[in-house]
Structure 1
Amino acid sequence: MASLKVIVASLNPVKQAAARQAFEQAFPDMAISITGVDVPSGVRDQPMTDAETLLGARQRAQRAQQEQPHADFWVGLEGGVADAQGLGLQAFGWMCVRTDSREYSARSASFPLPRAAVAAIEGGEELGPVMDGLFKEQNTKHKGGAVGLLTNGLVSREALYIQPLIFALIPFMHEPLF
């Protein structure tokens, strides 16, 4: 069986699991090897715009490639928040998948945040610790995440990230078309 070596620009087990699921679904006839590497995003700990969040994902993937240059794919995942065209602050994630020659990105669905979380984030705090405080939990960003807490476990952070990772893999799944 052929194999793919994938470097995920995070040591977060949720992000690594999402990448594993996406690559295994996109390339079912390949053995997938996932390795995490801790690299900075180059953006704020809590990205506050769509563009900043995408930049964080792209820079993570680029830095992962610099750190671990011998792989088939490098993946950057970045969670962020942004004002949803007057609908209030919403959370989402950007995924970036790159190879030596190409890079593609896709965005997750977004979801609304509670007023108390919005106030804390606008005051400079990061979503994960804010949600931990609101729900009396610990380290939720390495578990189900804010989306898991807010959906009562119906959607986990891992699940939220799998679909856009698959979308970012479309050009690699259908290379002649791209």
Structure 2
Amino acid sequence: MAFPKRKNIQPERQRERELLVVVGSKNPVKVQCTENGFQRAFGEHHFIVEGLNINSEVSDQPFGDEETYRGAFNRAKNAKNTFPEADYWVGIEGGVEEVDNEMIAYAWVTVMDRNGKLGKAKTSTFFLPEAISKLIRGGMELGAADDKVFDRENSKQGNGAVGMLTNGTIDRTEYYEQAVVLALIPFISDKLYK
């Protein structure tokens, strides 16, 4: 796998070099929210953010916190194993869970660096309408269920359920971006996270 070569913006200052971030997915939403989150957290750095098709080693539609977190962790870990030359590796996995006979949706984000430090965070949760929940219980992925209910195509690479259910007030990129920043806390406040 070939990525663009890093350029030294100002060779005399090591901190100004471009840092390579590999996302364990080629989904453009996951790549963009990662780029946005890193830029928000570390505006003084320049980042190249690339996505790879990485196996999460969990179900296509993870159920519950444990499986969803494991999917995010595996995406970051497998991205690191696939392209160890990067500076950071990111895994993002969306999941669902039953709460009092209703279904919620959320995602886990994990970030690893070259030193073995791990950051992790979870998005906020929201309840899915029964029409979507019923399709998921029947074995459909959330993205496919969204497409069916909203008569769309490939919504998981667009605004997703959160975007459609909020009439675009919150899009999927924005929804994940905050969790990316939260997963970066151990790197932002690195003196407190050894």
Within the alignment, does 1:108 sit opposite 2:123 as a pair?
yes
Structure 1 equivalent of residue 34 of structure 2: 19
In the alignment, is the contact (CA less than 8 A) between 1:2 and 1:29 conserved in 2? no
Q: Which runs of 5+ in 2 are unaligned?
A: 1-15
Structure 1 equivalent of residue 175 of structure 2: 160
In the alignment, is the contact (CA less than 8 A) between 2:23 and 2:31 conserved in 1? yes
Within the alignment, does 1:71 sit opposite 2:86 as a pair?
yes
Within the alignment, does 1:172 sit opposite 2:187 as a pair?
yes
Moved over 3 A (4+): none
Q: 1 CA distance for matches of 2:119 and 2:190?
A: 12
Q: Which runs of 5+ in 1 are unaligned?
A: none
Structure 2 equivalent of residue 120 of structure 1: 135
C-alpha root-mean-square deviation of aligned residues, in Å? Answer: 0.9
Alpha-carbon distance, 1:165 to partner: 0.6
Identity over aligned pairs, percent: 40
Aligned to 2:95, what secondary structure does the other structure show? strand
Structure 1 residues 2-11 or 14-23, which shifts more?
2-11
Higher radius of gyration, 1 or 2: 2
Alpha-carbon distance, 1:50 to partner: 1.0
Deviations 1:60-83 (A, max 9, x none): 000000110001100000000012
Alpha-carbon distance, 1:87 to partner: 6.0
Q: 2 CA distance for matches of 1:89 and 1:22?
A: 27
Aligned to 2:58, what secondary structure does the other structure show? coil
Structure 2 equivalent of residue 97 of structure 1: 111
Aligned to 1:155, what secondary structure does the other structure show? coil
In the alignment, is the contact (CA less than 8 A) between 1:9 and 1:37 conserved in 2? yes
